[in-house]
Structure 1
Amino acid sequence: MIGTGAVRGAATAALLADLGFGEPPDQLHPTVWMGRWLGRIRASQKSRSMMPGHSSRQAFWHGAAGLAGGVALTTAIAGAVAAIIAQLGNASTAGASTLPSTLGRISVEGVLLKPALAVRSLLRAADVVRVALERHDLDQARHLLSWHLVSRNTDALSADEVAGAAIASLAENLSDSVVGPLMAYRLGGLPAAYAYRFVNTADAMLGYRTPELEWFGKSAARSDDVLNLLPARVSAPLLALAAPCAMASPWKALRCGIRDASRTPSPNGGWPMATMAGALGIRLEKRGLYVLNAEGRAPTAHDITRARRMVFAASLAAVMCVELSIPVSA
């Protein structure tokens, strides 16, 4: 039944919808709704933090309660909407042949799953940075990088660093925006996919080591780390398999991924980023935090194109793996 488990063909339908139509309007986008929820609880925490005697423990539990409430609400809505549409679909196709009924089920499930994925928007975000770099408009490239792909200050980044940051973000977001949601969907259907998306969004908005968010966002950051333990490590071999699309060696990609994955502060991000660095033969560096494939050359705008090809191919492979793992009857 839709909403209670993965439906074979739905991941493909979701990817096709993503590539064909991109993101839905903000008014209809579940991730935007999640962001509004998280924005409200962040504003609430800001007010609480100004109260006398407000402790880090209170901030932690406030953040944990907001996270748990958001996950519960998201999961309930995803399951309820899917179940309602399933009932309507069953009623409308009563007496119809099996093929239209099956295609309708796949289409509905795919449309519902699509907002949890972000392939097209990710590839486009990196491409606009590439275009700016190729035009030698470094200020615009920095602006586009910070607007679309990273949360850090980009004002002092060189062209090499901008290209490297775009490539690193492509690799890391393969796990966060494609492999992770697909794996969650495979394990628990739409509710699991959207629960994953909520936690990932919470980490992106709250998981910072600032005085305001250090403890408030800790539950989101740690939950995201746990949920991405497997997707990040699956993303690495998927990128290695995709390396020939960039005229690169899968073996060099895997070797660098295994060697350098632990060099990032994140327990997960290093896997896809180091694998990408090894495949492209480039050095990926974030000042003061990590250096991946230190012996590699400096990244260029052309390497962004190569990285985009790898991420696209790896996304196709991820969808294929999910589809093959779902029983034909599902």
Structure 2
Amino acid sequence: MTLVESPVAVVLGAVLLDLVLGDPRALPHPVVGIGEMISSLEKPLRRMIPNVRVAGVALLVITVGVSYALAASLIYAAYQLAPAAGFVVSLYLAWVSLAARSLHLESAKVVRALQEGDLPAARVALSYIVGRETAELDEPEIIRGAVETVAENTGDGVIAPLFYLLLGGPALAIAYKAVNTLDSMVGYKNDRYLEYGWASARFDDLANYVPARLTGLLMVLAAPLCGLDGDGAWRILRRDGRNHSSPNSGFPEAAAAGALGVRLGGANRYFGKIVEKPTIGDALLPLSQATYGGVVRLMYGSEALLVAAWLATVALFNR
């Protein structure tokens, strides 16, 4: 097998490109196309299928199926043209499915504003990455929002797409991104999307079931390597992993809270109403800018461990 045909080269190249360059926003992005497809299908599906929930199922099947088929066909066609072309297409699709660097950069804007003493700017920066209202938050609550976002999205923005990339190549990673995009666009519990987005939200829960729990375990293993509390991560993961409205998000948040020695969850304001969420972790340490630095190390450490474990498995089976 040549380098351009090696899945190892694709994975390592994609991870390195993501770590160094982040999301290639200046280039055509599959997620943008997926989002446009989801938007364009809503009116015709609602019109053609009277049962709104069934229309939502059709949206899910079409979006994920077309995304996977187009990615797989593009890779196949490129390899038929030339091995180097196939490698480049595979590498690009794998790269754009990952989001560690982008998650770091976007969340770092919040802490950078705090470092500059600009609390209003920090609130605005946080509002771009969380759903809660941020206009009245103090610094510890801003930090909590940033830490929760990095911890949760380590699961569905970093480990999950990498998991599917390792499992089934770039086409499966793109299919996962389609599921994730569907949930972010139609997976709301409001009048418009409660029924139409039901299938997308449930399938997103299913697709993230294993990656979320894997993320929690990776965080436990990564914690001592990152100068954090591995025993605490394991204890809080087991105790509080299900203290979340999402069936999945609590696992990475609990592992992170335990590793960092902080309490996450609690009261958030949405559309003018206070929503009390279950707490996760123990407040052994205050929420501070150092807490944010710890969760970022935990994110990168978890990603590195998953890649290392996969490389070891590949080497073992290729002996």
Give TM class, smaller chain. 0.7 to 0.9
Structure 1 residue 138: Cα displacement: 2.2
Query: Which residue does the alignment assign to 2:172?
Result: 192
Query: Which residue does the alignment assign to 2:272?
Result: none
Hey, what's the Cα distance between the residues in 2 that align with 1:108 and 1:284? 40
What does 1:195-274 align with in structure 2 at a 5 Å threshold? 195-274=175-254
* Preserved CA contact (<8 Å) 2:240 2:281: yes
Hey, what's the Cα distance between the residues in 2 that align with 1:281 and 1:307? 11
Query: Which residue does the alignment assign to 2:310?
Result: 322
SS at structure 2 position matched to 1:23: coil
Hey, what's the Cα distance between the residues in 1 that align with 2:311 and 2:207? 21
TM-score between the two structures when normalised by the length of structure 1: 0.85
Q: 1:135 aligns with which of 96, 100, 116?
A: 116
* Preserved CA contact (<8 Å) 1:37 1:70: yes
1:167 paired with 2:141, answer: no
Query: Which residue does the alignment assign to 2:102?
Result: 121
Q: 1:83 aligns with which of 76, 97, 103?
A: 76
Give the superposed CA RMSD.
2.7
Structure 1 residue 170: Cα displacement: 0.8
* Preserved CA contact (<8 Å) 2:228 2:294: no
What does 1:273-288 align with in structure 2 at a 5 Å threshold? 273-287=253-267, 288=276
Q: 1:106 to 1:252 in 2, by over 3 A?
A: farther
SS at structure 2 position matched to 1:262: coil
Structure 1 ranges of 4+ moved more than 4 A: 42-45, 104-108
Q: 1:157 aligns with which of 134, 137, 147?
A: 137
Query: Which residue does the alignment assign to 2:270?
Result: none
Hey, what's the Cα distance between the residues in 1 that align with 2:10 and 2:210? 22
* Counterpart residue identity of residue 31, structure 1: V
SS at structure 2 position matched to 1:8: helix
Query: Which residue does the alignment assign to 2:19?
Result: 19
Structure 1 residue 195: Cα displacement: 0.9
* Preserved CA contact (<8 Å) 2:258 2:282: no
Structure 1 residue 171: Cα displacement: 1.1
TM-score between the two structures when normalised by the length of structure 2: 0.88
Runs of 5+ consecutive residues of structure 1 not aligned to the other structure: 49-53, 93-103
Q: 1:138 to 1:126 in 2, by over 3 A?
A: same
Hey, what's the Cα distance between the residues in 2 that align with 1:246 and 1:185? 25
Query: Which residue does the alignment assign to 1:100?
Result: none
Q: What count of residue pairs does the alignment treat as equivalent?
A: 308
Query: Which residue does the alignment assign to 2:39?
Result: 39
Q: 1:320 to 1:157 in 2, by over 3 A?
A: same
Q: 1:64 to 1:157 in 2, by over 3 A?
A: farther
* Counterpart residue identity of residue 196, structure 2: F
Runs of 5+ consecutive residues of structure 2 not aligned to the other structure: 268-275
Hey, what's the Cα distance between the residues in 2 that align with 1:41 and 1:153? 31
* Preserved CA contact (<8 Å) 1:184 1:196: yes
RCO comparison, higher one (Cα < 8 Å, 6+): 1
Structure 1 residue 325: Cα displacement: 3.0
